[in-house]
Amino acid sequence: MNTDENDFLIDSGKLSAAALAKKHRLEHDPSCRRDPMEYFPEMEQIDSDVRERVITAMDDYDESRYTAVDVRRALDHEHCSIEDFKALLSTAAAPFLEEMAQRARSETSRHFGNTVYLFTPLYIANYCENYCVYCGFNCYNDIDRLQLTPEGIAHEMKVIADSGMEEILILTGESRTKSDVEYIGTACKLARKYFKNVGLEVYPMNTDDYRYLHECGADYVTVFQETYDLKKYETLHLLGHKRVWPYRFEAQERALRAGMRGVGFSALLGLSDYHKDALATALHVYYLQRRYPQAEFSLSCPRLRPIINNEKINPRDVSERVLCQILCAYRIFLPYVGITVSSRETAKFRNGIARICATKISAGVSTGIGDHEEKYTGQETGETGDAQFEIADTRSIANMYGDMASEGLQPVLNDYLYV
């Protein structure tokens, strides 16, 4: 797509005839798509063997080889090896779910006590230059687009902070044109005035950009790889910088080199074979954890959710029981790593999983733009932008806090001190 066509598309949200023709070609003619392994000229390439190690292990993984004997052996070991973890992710482990949950709960209690951290995501813009077929923000989806002004960002942050929240996750659509590094940096500086802990979930950047955002107040960076299956990845990400698979994979390592305190990882379960994606996600953490032992690492485990103009998008083969198995396996294999379960899941599931292995839960969530005051106070606001996906758990911060406490957990808003 040429620059003028793309600019028209993301500004208006309406598709021109030329844009529609381009969309059709992208969907039906693979030859017009960019090589997903080819970096754009401005993209930094780093020297790291982590990607090769992760993908080699994922490609070699055949979950059907594992039996109940392998699972039994894995659960009997005091420390979970990579081979044990593979067994725990396999179909053979399904009958052992209750025992896995007990082991996961023991590991969580040992390393995190009975605490569960609460945070709120804040979407500040939904403009996007990528065509990802499963995402509500994609540049070909006809939605209401909005970018908050600094004043609008500050207003949303004050509404959230007045509710008692002390940690925020700032998100944007992936548009370097509409949400450039300086714009995101301004949001970080504003967030530091209201919150003790500031996270980012934005497009992948070079090391220097991450360093700048860290100086602006960002503490950690989360990047969803979506799927580690390259063949599947290139059929889902048809246009934009996000199509460059290795640049996305290496984002967390660039952020750590830039001085970020922590990084988060995730595959979007349901896009491809969840056994392989879960393995690759955990190994991505495992190898970087050994390279950067000073950093904090966290895992998310989202499933597909319906989006505007496509309510039929749902996770393939990933039931709540399967999701629970994956999360328990994560905890047993990576006992020190934080695990976040988002509002994509139901209140009942999140209440239960927080007692077993989750350590961070979102609350008071909106995936739209500029509507926190209406959601929190009932007062109508001005212009708003459409949401990225539908959420399943709509509880307020106060309700989430109370529910976690009623589960015997200690809700924590922040435990960082800045000196």
Please give the torsion angle defined by the CA atoms of residues 285, 288, 292 and 294, in that order, rounded to the nearest 10 degrees. 10
d(CA 229, CA 273): 8
Confidence band for 390, pLDDT divided at 50, 70 and 90: confident
Confidence band for 314, pLDDT divided at 50, 70 and 90: low
| Residues 6+ positions from 323 with CB-CB distance below 8 Å | 269, 301, 303, 345, 349
136 within 8 A of 368, measured Cβ to Cβ: no
Strands (E), 245-356: 262-267, 296-300, 338-341
Confidence band for 310, pLDDT divided at 50, 70 and 90: low
d(CA 267, CA 143): 25
Helices 274-291 & 82-89 angle (0-180, nearest 10) = 150
CATH (residue range 33-412): 3.20.20.70
313 half-sphere exposure, CB direction, 13 A CA radius: 23
Question: 């976690």: which residue's tokens?
Answer: 404
At residue 94, does pLDDT exceed 80? yes
Question: 């208006």: which residue's tokens?
Answer: 12
pLDDT at 313: 59
Q: Tell me the per-residue pLDDT of 252-290, one tens digit each, with 9 for 90 and over.
A: 999 999 999 999 999 999 899 999 999 999 999 999 999
d(CA 88, CA 72): 9
At residue 294, does pLDDT exceed 60? yes
Closest to 23 measured CA to CA, from 245, 310, 176, 239: 239
| pTM for this prediction | 0.91
The CB-based long-range contact list for 1-7 (8 Å cut-off, 24+ gap) reads: 1/239, 6/129, 6/139, 7/177
| Residues 6+ positions from 376 with CB-CB distance below 8 Å | 159, 160, 163, 364, 396
Question: 């589960």: which residue's tokens?
Answer: 407
H or E, element range at 397: helix 397-406
Which of helix, strand or coil describes residue 43?
coil
Angle at the Cα of 260 from the Cα atoms of 254 and 265, rounded to 5 degrees: 65
Question: 């969309």: which residue's tokens?
Answer: 23
pLDDT at 1: 37
Confidence band for 402, pLDDT divided at 50, 70 and 90: very high
Angle at the Cα of 342 from the Cα atoms of 264 and 388, rounded to 5 degrees: 95
| Residues 6+ positions from 398 with CB-CB distance below 8 Å | 163, 164
90 half-sphere exposure, CB direction, 13 A CA radius: 22
383: burial class by Cβ within 10 Å (0-12, 13-18, 19+)? exposed
Which of helix, strand or coil describes residue 229?
coil
Would you list the domain boundaries of the chain? 33-412
In sign, the C-alpha dihedral spanning 109, 112, 117, 122 is: negative
383 vs 125, residue with greater confidence: 125
Q: What is the mean pLDDT of residues 207-230?
A: 97
For residue 143, the 8-state DSSP code is -
Tokens coding 225? 């790889």
Confidence band for 382, pLDDT divided at 50, 70 and 90: low
338 within 8 A of 301, measured Cβ to Cβ: no
Mean pLDDT computed over every residue of the chain: 90
Region class of 200: left (phi > 0), else alpha (psi between -120 and 50), else beta = beta
| Other C-beta atoms lying within 10 Å of the C-beta of residue 399 | 14
Closest to 357 measured CA to CA, from 318, 328, 329, 319: 328
CA 233 to chain centre: 16
